[in-house]
Amino acid sequence: MMKIIFPRNIENFVESITPKPSKLNEKKVKAIILDVKKNGDSAIKRYEKKFGGATLDSLRLSKKEIAYAYSKVSKKEITAIKLAKTRLSKTETIIKNQLKSSKINIDGIQITKLFSPIESVGCYVPGGLARYSSTAIMSVVPAKIAGVKRIVVTSSPNKDGKLDPLTIVAADLSGATEIYKTGGAQAIAALSFGTKSIQKVDKIVGPGGPFVTLAKLLVSNNTAIDMMAGPTELGIIADNSADPNLIALDLISQAEHSSDTFCYLITTSSKFAKSVKQILEKKMKNLKRGKIVKNSLFKNGFIAVLKSENDVIKLANKLAPEHLEIISKNQNKISEKINSAGLLLVGKYSVSSASDYLFGSNHILPTNKFGKVRGSLSVLDFMKLGTKIKSSKTVLKKLSKYLEVITSAEELPNHYEAVKGRLE
């Protein structure tokens, strides 16, 4: 089960405990990308048959298939999807409304800063071990609010060649303009390079397992991506004032995503650590998705016991988890010192599993320590900050002598000649 560790050197511990990507996976993903780039739709259909057992005639969902999906979901499910969409829309709209274009005048040079939506995006929605209709909402809604014209959704079909109906409905209600039956690295390659059926996009967003995350990284020199998002990570900072049963439930809730999640507890109490471990072991006996949870927590999970609160904070910031829950007597004080988590959840009622759906925050979050440099997916990921400049001969003449000095120092004389030619 989960191991209890007493780290002595935090930097060394972080290096040793962090999951490493497989070189074998990288080789496989590269081969898939090159195949799709060369052979297009036929390669995609071959991989869908190989990995999921699906025999596909067409990749794009028809209007008839989308309409049929609505008949396969309940009214309760549609109500819940609409609520999640509404709550996220409110957050994203507030962010967008703060993005005001600006006009700046610097000694006669007019600079205009303009926010505008990008033209097209590909939203990857995982399939496979679970249904991820919520991810369709999280990726499509901010793109729609940003004003993106072409919003493409891809997701893995089942062995019958069908997509999850609730995922289809969530994507459609959120504003997707195209939905395709393909997942994995082959979907990422199609979005990046384009095929006969799937036109390439300007940016790819969304979470995924190791293959998808690697594929996004490998195509990023051809197509913009949002971030490294997956596999799931959950860190919990807790002390003996917390309920160990709740800590165990939270670790299980994120570990059930897949067998390669990275879930752990950081505490200063060895007694509390043992309590959580014992509760986890009891819960494993009769647990839904138990095999996945066991594999995940046994392979990557840990409970770290540190000497001080400062060490706890230091370790959490170094690990920079996707989600970080803080449940302790000093939770507010500790939260102010955390600067690297993808999502910070303070207090026992700010549970990570609820944030995945209905808090109004986005569950597409940075993993692999990228929480140090960015936060969740948002409308900002679908907007471009452009710059427009208008100068005059008078201003250019005024600046020319300084331009001559700098261009001479950099040994780029033709830069100055281009200016000088306008002043003669």
Q: What type of residue is 216?
A: K
DSSP 256-315: TT-TT-EEEEEES-HHHHHHHHHHHHHHGGG-TTHHHHHHHHHHT-EEEE-SSHHHHHHH
- Per the residue annotation, which of 48, 233, 257, 323 is the catalytic one? 323
Could you report how far apart the first and last alpha carbons of the chain are, in Å?
Answer: 79
* Measured distance CA(73)–CA(77) in Å, rounded: 6
Q: CA–CA distance from 386 to each of 96, 115, 146 (Å)?
A: 15, 6, 15
Reference 188, options 162, 160, 226; nearest CA is 226
Instruction: Describe the crossing of helices 165-174 and 133-146 by its angle, rounded to 10 degrees.
Output: 10
pLDDT in tens, the chain (424 residues): 799 999 999 999 999 999 987 777 899 999 999 999 999 999 999 999 999 999 999 999 999 999 999 999 999 999 999 999 999 999 999 999 999 999 999 999 999 999 999 999 999 999 866 689 999 999 999 999 999 999 999 999 999 999 999 999 999 999 999 999 999 999 999 999 999 999 999 999 999 989 999 999 999 999 999 999 989 999 999 999 999 999 999 999 999 999 999 999 999 999 999 999 999 999 999 999 999 999 999 999 999 999 999 999 999 999 999 999 999 999 999 999 999 999 999 999 999 999 999 999 999 999 999 999 999 999 999 999 999 999 999 999 999 999 999 999 999 999 999 999 999 8
Q: CA–CA distance from 333 to each of 235, 237, 343 (Å)?
A: 17, 12, 16
Q: CA–CA distance from 307 to each of 79, 269, 340, 388 (Å)?
A: 48, 9, 21, 54
Q: Could you give the 3-state DSSP secondary structure of residue 156?
A: coil
CB 25 within 8 A of CB 211: yes
Phi, psi of 94 (to 5 degrees): -60, -40
CA dihedral 68, 69, 75, 76 (to 10 degrees): 170
- Per the residue annotation, which of 48, 322, 325, 363 is the catalytic one? 322
CA 323 to chain centre: 12
* Measured distance CA(236)–CA(6) in Å, rounded: 16
Q: Could you give the 3-state DSSP secondary structure of residue 53?
A: coil
What does pTM read for this prediction?
0.94
Q: Which domains are delineated in the chain?
A: 3-19+231-359 (3.40.50.1980), 23-225 (3.40.50.1980), 392-423 (no CATH)
Q: Which residue has the tokens 């594999």?
A: 295
* Sheet of strand 233-238, all strands in order from the earlier edge strand to the far edge: 3-5, 302-305, 262-267, 233-238, 323-327, 343-346
Q: Tell me the longest C-alpha to C-alpha distance in the chain.
A: 86
Length of the chain: 424
Reference 260, options 66, 128, 119; nearest CA is 128
Q: In this predicted structure, what is the pLDDT of residue 381?
A: 99
10 Å Cβ neighbour count for 386? Answer: 11
Residue 181: which H helix or E strand, with range?
Answer: strand 178-181
* Measured distance CA(125)–CA(140) in Å, rounded: 10
Q: Would you put residue 315 in left (φ > 0), alpha (ψ -120 to 50) or beta?
A: alpha
Q: Could you give the 3-state DSSP secondary structure of residue 206?
A: coil
Is 322 among the catalytic positions? yes
* Measured distance CA(140)–CA(119) in Å, rounded: 14
Q: Name residue 262's beta-bridge partners.
A: 233
